[in-house]
Amino acid sequence: MPDPVRAGMPDRRAVALAVMLTALVPGVEAQQPMDTLGRVTARVIPDTVTVGQPFVVSVRAIPPRGRQAVAPAVPDTGGLVEPLDPANVTRRGDTLIVRYRLIAWEPGVLTIPLGPVLMRRDSNEVSVPLDVRVVVASVLPAETAKRVPRTARELFPVSVRWWQRWWQWMLLLLATVTAVYLFERWRRRERAPASDVAAPLAVAEVAFARLDARRLLAAGEGGRHVALSAEIVRQYLAMVEPSLALALTNAELLKAVAPIPGMPDHQLARLLDEVDAVRFGGTGVDDATGQRASSMARQLVRDIDRVRSAMAGHASC
């Protein structure tokens, strides 16, 4: 006698067989016949994509009477197929509609890792697995091999005699002769001897020109103009006579200048007195006084240079 309680219930082996027969072809809606397991369909839009192109998987589940459909789990991120957004779950009565927006990262026919649809009633549930696939096409042309072929080798190496490379030997000879000529010219180049008398004068003239360009008198800094004029004279004297160092005081400088022939010590003393009056006496310096001190410094340098040049000319004779 068949069990009257089990008479209205489906055989478990039939349920398992119906679950395993649930498979979907990409782009074509597949479904399970309406029975005690309900009906589950899925669709991939579009069914063929390129790498990195988003696509949508739509799952529609109608549970049997007395049960509730539960949406499949979303694929994990980091796989070959991963979700872009959370699943969009809607219900229309007992019908469950779930939309997944996904993306694929490898060409080929890929299985979308969706979880099973659960038909739940209280603590009892039945799993309906999904087999959803998408075709991912490559974006590279078919002839792309990503290989660079080697250059073809000659059948027999061509031997060239050394005299057939005459133009290379001529270039090498020309480069050698040019290098030797430039080296000899640099080694034998005669450098003009620096004049011990003219060089300090030129340095002093440039220093006076820079002092005039600063326009200290127009800016009301007459005292600074006088002090810098005397400093240029001190630098000139240190260049022409090593014994007249800049570290000497005014008194020491006048004492050291006195025995040197050709040194106008009286003019130098007047200039140093002008500077001391400005530095220590608090004497105001107007434009006329500043110009007079600057002219005195210039004339002093030129007189020293003229006398020393004449003395050097007599010595050479």
The torsion angles phi and psi of 264, rounded to 5 degrees, stand at -75, 80
Return d(Cα 189, Cα 196) in angstroms, integer: 21
User: Tens digit of pLDDT for each residue in 24-65?
Assistant: 334 434 444 445 677 888 899 888 898 888 999 999 988 888
Question: Pairing between strand 88-92 and 108-112?
Answer: unpaired
For residue 104, give the nearest of 82, 128, 88, 127 by alpha carbon.
Answer: 82
Query: Which residues of the chain form CATH 2.60.40?
Result: 4-137
Give 203's pLDDT tier (boundaries 50, 70, 90): confident
The CATH number fitting domain 198-316, selected from 1.20.120, 3.30.450, 3.30.70, 1.10.3470: 1.20.120
Which pLDDT belongs to residue 178? 93
Which pLDDT belongs to residue 35? 54
The torsion angles phi and psi of 59, rounded to 5 degrees, stand at -115, 130
Which pLDDT belongs to residue 180? 92
**Half-sphere exposure for 248 (CA within 13 Å, toward CB):** 18
Give 137's pLDDT tier (boundaries 50, 70, 90): confident
User: Tens digit of pLDDT for each residue in 246-268?
Assistant: 778 777 877 877 777 767 777 77
Residue bearing the bigger pLDDT, 308 or 71: 71
Which pLDDT belongs to residue 317? 58
C-alpha distances in Å from residue 70, one per residue of 73, 81, 119, 278: 9, 22, 6, 104
Give 176's pLDDT tier (boundaries 50, 70, 90): very high
Please list, in sequence order, all residues whose beta carbon lies within 8 angstroms of the beta carbon of residue 146, skipping any fewer than 6 positions away.
none
Q: What is the CA radius of gyration of the chain?
A: 53
- Which residues face 99 on adjacent strands? 58, 88
Residue bearing the bigger pLDDT, 12 or 263: 263
Which pLDDT belongs to residue 56? 92
Q: Highest mean pLDDT range out of 170-179, 210-219, 297-306?
A: 170-179
Query: Which residues of the chain form CATH 1.20.120?
Result: 198-316
Which pLDDT belongs to residue 4? 40
Q: Is the pLDDT at 289 greater than 70, yes or no?
A: yes
Return d(Cα 206, Cα 232) in angstroms, integer: 10
Which pLDDT belongs to residue 27? 41
pTM value > 0.85? no
Average pLDDT value over all residues in the chain: 76
Return d(Cα 255, Cα 257) in angstroms, integer: 6
Two tokens, residue 196? 């011990």
Q: Alpha-carbon torsion 40, 45, 49, 53, what sign?
A: negative
Return d(Cα 35, Cα 31) in angstroms, integer: 12
> What is the mean predicted confidence (pLDDT) over 170-189?
89
User: Tens digit of pLDDT for each residue in 69-102?
Assistant: 888 888 877 778 888 888 888 888 888 899 999 8
The CATH number fitting domain 4-137, selected from 3.30.1340, 3.30.200, 2.40.128, 2.60.40: 2.60.40
Lowest mean pLDDT among 22-31, 119-128, 304-313: 22-31
